[in-house]
Amino acid sequence: MAIYSRTIRANYRNAVSATYPVVRRIVGASLFRAAVDAYVDAHPSRSGDLNEYGDAFGDFLHCYPPSAELPYLPDVARLEWAVDEAYRAADGALAPDAVLGALSHVPADALPHVHLGLEPSSRLVASSFPLLRIWQVNQPGYDGDLRVDFTAGRHCMRIRREPNARCSECDDSGIMIERIDAAHFEWLSAIARGATLAEALERAVDTDPAFHLQTALQKFIGDGSIDRVVHAVAQVDGMETSVTGLKAPRD
Amino acid sequence: MSGRSATGRDTRSDALGRKPSNHALPAAAGLGLRAPHVSHVLASHPPVAWFEVHSENYFAAGGPTLRALERIRSNYPLSLHGVGLSLGSTDALSRTHLHKLARLIARVEPALVSEHLCWCGVATRHFNDLLPLPFTEAALANVCAHIDEAQHCLGREIAVENISAYVAFDDSTMSEWEFVAAIVDRTGCKLLLDINNVYVNSVNHGFDAERYLAALPEAAIVEIHLAGFEAAGRCLIDTHGARVAPEVWALYRKTIARIGPRPTLIEWDVDIPAFAVLEAEAATAAAFLADCDAVAA
């Protein structure tokens, strides 16, 4: 039975290591192993697909006493999970022109009620720590200044997989992590939750009164982050009929 | 054997760039393809007859991993080998898992789809390991129902693989080979015969490996697995982390001499060596297959 116990532990350690290389690098191999073993006991696997295992590791680390001295560690794990999900997400398909075209066909009075959709690999992570900087100095091969300014404030990040693998800002696997401003972050988060354009705008303006909708639409449609426009075209007998203006093919 | 080059590589893809036949794997030596060797295979197109991958490693909805597999599939016959469907569990088969497998099958059109004769979890808990079944009528009925369901849901035959085991159940009322043969008989599924697992179990549980091999329905054997084990005291552990042992090669030779050449896979999953080491193991299998062909001719 010890053989089974050893194999099972090793399988989970390998799977979680593959998803969380930065956490492992920060805490060291032995603390990481202990944390994974404790995580496996607290969050048993429910799926035969190990790719999906480890989603709650960030939340787990938040309450894991041995890592209490590293308050940013849970956020590092959340970022790594977002990267992992982005890597495995379905391929997006639509060109920005098609999204802009669909939006231009929405009648002006219907615009506030439009729902937008984010392309499948988009993920949003915010941290009260300078998370992107922590991430960068812990990348293999990084040999620059190792200091992190913890007074730098909140980091809001957008993670996505670039369809064009030769993009200059992404890593070998095509993952791009980009710091975006807080209002853009709140706006995209609202869209991701399924809010209407009006609701998303309210969230963004609450965060920063200088938020400019046109700029945000241009930026995030232009770079392919927004790949769907869904709007209500007609009200028939008081019943709202939703149609998909444009929808990227999903698997 | 027309349609195969001297290396066993399927050369039947035509001028329109259609994929190699997906009806069957060639009766030649293939390799288990793992992540560290994917870029090498894509860049240099080594002369390997076919590849097998673990299905779950490609369960992503999209992305570069899946695109790489599609490129490999356009150059080689491919077999999908599942490690997580848990056919032997008393839990219901996971519909999500079957859906992901069906999606992958539609995407890469594999020559063969296989799973293990094991259970991986119970009461919704998954252990993500291949755990042995008791060889009883109840376990047989349960695993057969799940194989029927999987074959129905996927719309194709699957092959099931005998696993290695480090425990045996007092409850068992039949031998492992009777259990395996009964599954094939009842479900019409095919057999992925892992000769290393037969050898490991014969040592661990004290039976005659040749007797086991002779008792299997040979027409159902559509693929053979070979891998390395490691010894831990009196117990052999199927680590897939070493070369194929001489005893296993000997059993392999006898088996193909009796049943004829079959698609044969070299598996190596831990401490994965240089690709050339895997190619050398495949060459050994290919030489035995060629002997077998020569005798038949």
Among A4, A47, A120, whose Cβ lies nearest the Cβ of B129?
A4
Higher pLDDT, residue B13 or A229: A229
Residue B148 lies in a domain: yes
Q: Mean pLDDT across the stretch B266-295? A: 93
Which own/partner pairs from A60-66 qualify as long-range (CB within 8 Å, at least 24 positions apart)?
A60/A35, A61/A23, A61/A35, A64/A35, A64/A38, A66/A31, A66/A34, A66/A35
CB A17 within 8 A of CB A25: no
Among A4, A8, A251, whose Cβ lies nearest the Cβ of B103?
A251
Q: Give B145 to chain A, closest Cα distance, Å.
A: 19
Residue A239: per-residue pLDDT: 37
Structure tokens at B28: 């030649």
Give the residue numbers spanning the domain of B184: 29-296
Residue A56: per-residue pLDDT: 96
Res. A248: pLDDT tops 90: no
Chain A residues within an 8 Å CB radius of B127: 8, 45
A191-219: buried (b, 16+ CB within 10 Å) or exposed (e) per residue? beeebbbebbbbbbbebeeebeeeebbee
CB B79 within 8 A of CB B27: no
Residue B5 lies in a domain: no
Indicate the pLDDT class of residue B14, thresholds 50, 70 and 90: very low
Residue contact B84–A48, C-beta within 8 A: yes
Residue B47 lies in a domain: yes
Chain B residues within an 8 Å CB radius of A90: 61-62
Q: How many domains does chain B have?
A: 1
Q: pLDDT tens digits for B16-38? A: 444 444 568 999 999 999 999 99
Q: Mean pLDDT across the stretch B233-249? A: 93
Q: pLDDT tens digits for A179-201? A: 999 999 999 999 999 999 999 99
The rounded distance, in Å, linking the Cα atoms of A186 and A205 is: 9
Residue contact A89–B62, C-beta within 8 A: yes
Chain A residues within an 8 Å CB radius of B237: 3
| Chain A residue at shortest CA distance from B236 | A3
Indicate the pLDDT class of residue A168, thresholds 50, 70 and 90: low
| Chain A residue at shortest CA distance from B91 | A46
Residue B7 lies in a domain: no
Res. A21: pLDDT tops 90: yes
Residue B166 lies in a domain: yes
| Chain B residue at shortest CA distance from A7 | B129
A50 contacts chain B (CB < 8 A) = yes
Residue B3: per-residue pLDDT: 38
Residue B179 lies in a domain: yes
Res. B291: pLDDT tops 80: yes
Chain A residues within an 8 Å CB radius of B59: 49, 51
Residue B242 lies in a domain: yes
Q: pLDDT tens digits for A44-69? A: 998 889 999 999 999 999 999 998 99
The rounded distance, in Å, linking the Cα atoms of B36 and B273 is: 9
Nearest 5 degrees, angle CA A149-CA A83-CA A160?
100
Higher pLDDT, residue B232 or A120: A120
Res. B297: pLDDT tops 70: no
Residue B296: per-residue pLDDT: 66
Q: Are strands B235-237 and B230-232 parallel, antiparallel or unpaired?
A: antiparallel
Question: What is the share, in percent, of chain B residues with pLDDT greater than 70?
Answer: 92
Residue B123: per-residue pLDDT: 77
Interface test with B, best of A5, A7, A94 (most B CBs within 10 A): A7
Chain B residues within an 8 Å CB radius of A251: 61-62, 103
Picking from B65, B101, B69, B102, the residue whose alpha carbon sits closest to that of residue B82 is: B101
Picking from B3, B82, B78, B22, the residue whose alpha carbon sits closest to that of residue B48 is: B78
Indicate the pLDDT class of residue A251, thresholds 50, 70 and 90: very low
Among A48, A89, A251, whose Cβ lies nearest the Cβ of B126?
A48
Res. B211: pLDDT tops 80: yes
Higher pLDDT, residue B265 or A146: B265
Residue A43: per-residue pLDDT: 93
Structure tokens at B130: 């291949």
- How many Cβ pairs closer than 8 A exist between chain A and B? 89
Residue contact A165–B103, C-beta within 8 A: no
C-alpha A198, offset from chain centre: 23
What is the overall mean pLDDT for chain B?
90
Q: What is the pTM of this model?
A: 0.87
Interface test with A, best of B127, B130, B167 (most A CBs within 10 A): B127
Least confident of A218-232, B57-71, B100-114, B143-157: A218-232
Res. A17: pLDDT tops 70: yes
Q: Is A145 exposed, middle or buried (0-12, 13-18, 19+ CB in 10 A)?
A: exposed
Contacts of B247 (CB under 8 A, 6+ apart): B199
Q: pLDDT tens digits for A118-143? A: 999 999 999 999 999 999 999 988 88
Residue A94: per-residue pLDDT: 64
Residue B16: per-residue pLDDT: 44
Res. A244: pLDDT tops 70: no
| Chain A residue at shortest CA distance from B124 | A46
Say which CATH number the domain at B101 has. 3.20.20.150
Res. B171: pLDDT tops 60: yes
Residue B19 lies in a domain: no
| Chain A residue at shortest CA distance from B86 | A48
What is the overall mean pLDDT for chain A?
87
Residue listed under structure tokens 């929808």 = A247
Residue A100, CA distances (Å) to A34, A114, A188, A224, A226 in order: 50, 13, 17, 11, 10
Contacts of B143 (CB under 8 A, 6+ apart): B87, B88, B117, B133, B183
Higher pLDDT, residue A165 or A82: A82
Residue contact B56–A44, C-beta within 8 A: no
Backbone dihedral angles phi then psi of residue A128, each to the nearest 5 degrees = -80, 0
Higher pLDDT, residue B21 or B132: B132
The rounded distance, in Å, linking the Cα atoms of A246 and B41 is: 38
Q: pLDDT tens digits for A68-127? A: 999 999 999 999 999 999 999 998 766 788 898 888 889 989 999 999 999 999 999 999
Indicate the pLDDT class of residue B216, thresholds 50, 70 and 90: very high
The rounded distance, in Å, linking the Cα atoms of A57 and A64 is: 10
The string of DSSP letters for B100-124 reads: HHHHHHHHH--SEEEEESSEEEETT
Res. A236: pLDDT tops 50: no
Residue contact B62–A91, C-beta within 8 A: yes
Residue A193: per-residue pLDDT: 95
Contacts of A33 (CB under 8 A, 6+ apart): A13
Picking from A79, A80, A116, the residue whose alpha carbon sits closest to that of residue A191 is: A116
Q: Give B257 to chain A, closest Cα distance, Å.
A: 34
A11 contacts chain B (CB < 8 A) = yes
